[in-house]
Amino acid sequence: KCFRMHAIQVDSVQRWMEDLRHMTEVE
Amino acid sequence: RAAQGRTYGNLGNSHYLLGNFQDAVLAHEQRLLIAKEFGDRAAERRAYCNLGNAYIFLGQFEAAAEHYKRTLQLARQLKDRAVEAQACYSLGNTYTLLQDYERAIDSHLKHLIIAQDLKDRIGEGRACWSLGNAYTALGNHEQAMSFAEKHLEISKEIGDRS
């Protein structure tokens, strides 16, 4: 159950990290 | 010196996009130093955000949270609501990675309020998705359901099938 909860938890975070990987604050 | 600051920022961003996160941190730390010398708070804010992002991919979530907190403080000082919302969202996700769900909820609620003020439906949908997950992790299924329903409603409205 804990593993499943963790997997659920990660899905919105993973989406954020996918976007973050290409994001920079440009000078 | 001002040009050096901008160049360190650009160098940090290039290292980041190439996946060299440690080198990105070194360059953005130099950028931060120079931004502070000039009292350039917008540049300081950008450097903190870029450092937070690099620390995420280095797996140093505590360090990322500290840098996002500084980003948030500066966004508030600069009265930039969109950046403030983004910092809250980053902080919420970082607390989730740290499995500190109470703090994650606090940050995502702050993001939600600003997204609603700015009429940013995509941001609002993401905040609801994140809140649903955080409440699920805490076993608060009623709140999780409420945010999941809101997320579904917004996803339909904006045509986000995934």
Alpha-carbon distance B49 to nearest alpha carbon in chain A (angstroms): 7
Nearest residue on chain B to A16, alpha-carbon basis: B93
pLDDT band at A5 (very low <50, low <70, confident <90, very high): low
For B154, residues 6+ apart whose C-beta sits below 8 A from its C-beta are: B121, B124, B125, B128
B99-155 per-position pLDDT tens digit: 999 999 999 999 999 999 999 999 999 999 999 999 999 999 999 999 999 999 999
Which chain B residues contact residue A16 at CB under 8 A? Answer: 89-90, 93, 126
What is the residue whose two structure tokens read 């703090």? B103
Could you tell me which of B75, B28, B31, B30 has the C-alpha nearest to residue B51?
B28
A5 vs B120, residue with greater confidence? B120
What is the per-residue pLDDT for B83? 98
For B78-107, what is the mean pLDDT?
Answer: 97
pLDDT band at B159 (very low <50, low <70, confident <90, very high): very high
pLDDT, mean over chain A: 79
Task: Please tell me the least confidently modeled range out of A8-17, B54-63, B122-131.
Answer: A8-17
CB contact under 8 A, B57 and A11: no
- Sign of the C-alpha dihedral, residues B87, B88, B92, B93? negative
Say what the ipTM of the complex is.
0.94
Q: At CA A13, angle to CA B114 and CA B87, rounded to 5?
A: 35
Nearest residue on chain B to A8, alpha-carbon basis: B133
What is the per-residue pLDDT for A1? 45
Instruction: Give yes or no for residue A19 having a pLDDT over 80.
Output: yes
Number of Cβ within 10 Å of residue B119's Cβ equals 8
Q: Out of B10, B89, B126, name the one closest to residue A27 (CB).
A: B10
What is the per-residue pLDDT for A10? 63
% pLDDT > 70, chain B: 100
Q: Does A27 touch chain B (CB under 8 A)?
A: yes
Instruction: Give yes or no for residue A7 having a pLDDT over 90.
Output: no
Q: Does A2 touch chain B (CB under 8 A)?
A: no
For B22-34, what is the mean pLDDT?
Answer: 98
CB contact under 8 A, B137 and A22: no
CB pairs under 8 A between A and B: 56
Instruction: Give yes or no for residue A9 having a pLDDT over 80.
Output: no
What is the per-residue pLDDT for B64? 98
For A21, residues 6+ apart whose C-beta sits below 8 A from its C-beta are: B57
Instruction: Give yes or no for residue B55 having a pLDDT over 70.
Output: yes
